[in-house]
Amino acid sequence: MLDIRSARKVFYKGQADEKVALDGLSLSLATGEFGIVIGSNGAGKSSMLNAISGALGLDSGKILINGADVTAMPVHKRATRLARVFQDPMRGTAASMTVAENMLLADLRSQKRTLRQGLNATRLASYKERLSILGLGLENRLDTRVDLLSGGQRQSLSLIMAVGGSPDLLLLDEHTAALDPRTAEIVMQATVRAVNALKLTTLMVTHNMQHAVDYGSRVIMLDAGRVLLEVTGEEKARVTVIDLIGHFSIKTDRMLLAS
């Protein structure tokens, strides 16, 4: 489904502060898989997501989504194939508009239509059904302005808006990092419900080691722009935070322990 082949990206090449962000990174994600990526600061997590989304061009290597080579495809064209939810709950929604109006905006973006088509009974029924997946009661708050929602509700709304166009791939870019621990857990549970209900192939980057242990079907640990470790299957079911930290040795930084 997602296939990254020998991806390489170097910043400030040939200069004193040259930085290898991706060092021949190869990674595959099967259809329906929920992969969770961890790693210390500078491991290449953000560069990897930016390369997948098209925000960052590669020096060499390839990226394929559903068998199609998207390496040279611009961001706006890749947007029809993937969805991305960012860390900031404010980023994916329009604060002064209602929940229903935000859902409409997301639909119009994915379908290239105009606001003139507006809200109707069919759309509202669809929005209620989709929002109910989250289990947060947002289906009963369609007329509520988004700036009156909690950070967790708003981030969950961003998620369901992002996947409205049935993307091939969902990218979660530390989407719980700006939330308090209790709210982050609520959002993660809502995320899992949405991923399972909509059968989404998902790649999530996180600094929260406990989330890496508790969720997803696979853990991928990056270091210096490469895959350092992959944990899946029965091993994933048994792995602990201490096990994961042990693989970092001296390179483990305090941010990985912050969770």
Task: Pick left, alpha or beta for residue 224 (phi over 0 → left; psi -120 to 50 → alpha; otherwise beta).
Answer: left
CB-CB contact of 104 with 123 (8 Å): yes
CA distance 114 to 44: 38
Grade residue 251 by pLDDT with cuts at 50, 70 and 90: low
**Beta carbons within 10 angstroms of residue 45's beta carbon:** 22
What's the confidence (pLDDT) of residue 117? 65
Q: Give the CATH number of the domain where residue 83 resides.
A: 3.40.50.300
CA distance 155 to 173: 12
Question: pLDDT, tens digit, for every residue of 52-101?
Answer: 999 999 999 999 999 999 999 999 899 889 999 999 888 889 999 999 99
Question: pLDDT, tens digit, for every residue of 176-212?
Answer: 999 999 999 999 999 999 999 999 999 999 999 999 9
Non-local CB neighbours of 53 within 8 Å, separated by 6+ positions: 75, 78, 82, 84, 171
CA distance 15 to 119: 54
Question: pLDDT, tens digit, for every residue of 216-245?
Answer: 999 999 999 999 999 999 999 999 999 888
Q: Is a pLDDT exceeding 80 seen at residue 167?
A: yes
Question: pLDDT, tens digit, for every residue of 109-160?
Answer: 766 555 556 788 999 999 999 999 999 999 999 999 999 999 999 999 999 9
CA distance 28 to 48: 12
What's the confidence (pLDDT) of residue 54? 96
The dihedral sign for the CA sequence 199, 243, 235, 44: positive
Per DSSP, helices labelled H in the chain are: 45-53, 75-78, 99-111, 121-132, 151-162, 181-198, 209-214, 233-238, 241-246
Grade residue 250 by pLDDT with cuts at 50, 70 and 90: very low
Q: Is a pLDDT exceeding 50 seen at residue 104?
A: yes
CB-CB contact of 120 with 142 (8 Å): no
Domain with 46, as residue range(s), is: 2-257
Grade residue 255 by pLDDT with cuts at 50, 70 and 90: very low
The predicted model scores a pTM of 0.90
Considering its fold, how many domains does the chain have in total? 1
CA distance 37 to 212: 8
Grade residue 166 by pLDDT with cuts at 50, 70 and 90: confident
What's the confidence (pLDDT) of residue 91? 85
